[in-house]
Amino acid sequence: MSIYSKLKSVCIGVGTISTLTGFYYFNEKNKVYTSWTSNYEPSPCAKWDDNWDHRAPEYIRSRKTSLAHKDDNNNINVEKNTPKACRNLILIRHGQYNLDGVTDKERQLTKLGRLQAEYTGKRLKELNLPYDSMIKSTMMRAQETGSIISTFLPDIPVSHCDLLREGAPIPPEPPLGTYRPESQKFFEDGARIEAAFRKYFHRADPKQEKDSYTIIVCHANVIRYLVCRALQFPAEAWLRMSLYHASITWISITPSGRCVLRVLGDAGHIPTNALTTS
């Protein structure tokens, strides 16, 4: 019997010959697939790593056994080490700053940059989330941006972190002709920014009972790299994104370890005449 005859028989059994458009023939496996399937198989690198932060409860070592297996004793261990809360990381890019400054101290926010930070502080206050802390890069422009935001959120404790300083995380792909730091720069900055990812990006501690909301004020390159790492995208893709000054990027890390990008570079709270990227 011909391929067409076989398909015709199938279609008649379904109801009408017009249903033929609902199938296609895949020659290699001699199977008929419905038209809404693509027969797509994700590449191995697209598979999600459930233990990306080395905190998946089934992999946490027990004092009694090397790994948690499916016996009664270790089921208790898995349950004990299973997070119950969600960690929300709200990443803020600093405001526009003086590009002509030679030293970091001279690269202060411009008048517009301070205004951008005010818009973002006001927006964070309006969101009315139960923020637990703010962490700021130690660079001048991030320090100033965070301080302005703190005027709107005066009760949020603030800390500072050198790991969040701006830098060149990894050679971008595709390369950008105007962006060519020395290879030594990638080697030094990349290790530091990766350390920032490992420090701040992980699922909640099992003892954490309520969802947490942490504000991190830092830089565009750092945020773009952190987003790629959190979503398990190729880290080399970081330069394919663009972020406005004082924009908001929000990532939630669920108890299961899944990372959800809620917003990327949101600047809808800033008037169009105050939007800048450089």
The span from the CA of 172 to the CA of 179, in Å, is 9
27 pLDDT more than 80 = no
Q: 256 lies in a domain?
A: yes
Strand partners, 131: 213
If asked whether residues 71 and 118 sit together in one domain, one would say no
pLDDT at 2: 55
Instruction: Count helices and strands (H / E) in the chain.
Output: 6, 8
If asked whether residues 175 and 207 sit together in one domain, one would say yes
Q: 42 lies in a domain?
A: no
- Per-residue pLDDT tens digits for 170-205: 999 998 877 777 767 888 999 999 999 999 999 999
If asked whether residues 159 and 267 sit together in one domain, one would say yes
If asked whether residues 127 and 263 sit together in one domain, one would say yes
Strand partners, 92: 217, 248
Query: Residue 39: left (phi > 0), alpha (psi -120 to 50), or beta?
Result: left
Which CATH number goes with the domain that contains 264? Answer: 3.40.50.1240
Q: 139 lies in a domain?
A: yes
Whether 250 and 129 have beta carbons less than 8 Å apart is answered as: no
- Per-residue pLDDT tens digits for 208-242: 999 999 999 999 999 999 999 999 999 999 999 99
Q: 41 lies in a domain?
A: no
Q: 252 lies in a domain?
A: yes
Q: 162 lies in a domain?
A: yes
Edge to edge, what strands does the sheet with 87-93 contain? 158-161, 131-137, 212-218, 87-93, 248-253, 259-266
- The tally of domains found in the chain comes to 3
If asked whether residues 61 and 170 sit together in one domain, one would say no
Q: 190 lies in a domain?
A: yes
If asked whether residues 57 and 113 sit together in one domain, one would say no
If asked whether residues 27 and 72 sit together in one domain, one would say no
The rounded mean pLDDT for the chain is 85
pLDDT at 59: 80
If asked whether residues 20 and 97 sit together in one domain, one would say no
The span from the CA of 69 to the CA of 74, in Å, is 6
pLDDT band at 30 (very low <50, low <70, confident <90, very high): low
- Per-residue pLDDT tens digits for 50-98: 999 999 988 876 544 444 444 455 555 787 888 999 999 999 999 999 9
Higher pLDDT, 41 or 104: 104
Q: Which domain holds residue 262?
A: 87-274
Closest by alpha carbon to 164, among 183, 129, 132, 137? Answer: 137
Whether 158 and 152 have beta carbons less than 8 Å apart is answered as: no
pLDDT at 77: 74
- Per-residue pLDDT tens digits for 102-159: 999 999 999 999 999 999 999 999 999 999 999 999 999 999 999 999 999 999 999 9
If asked whether residues 105 and 188 sit together in one domain, one would say yes
If asked whether residues 55 and 29 sit together in one domain, one would say no
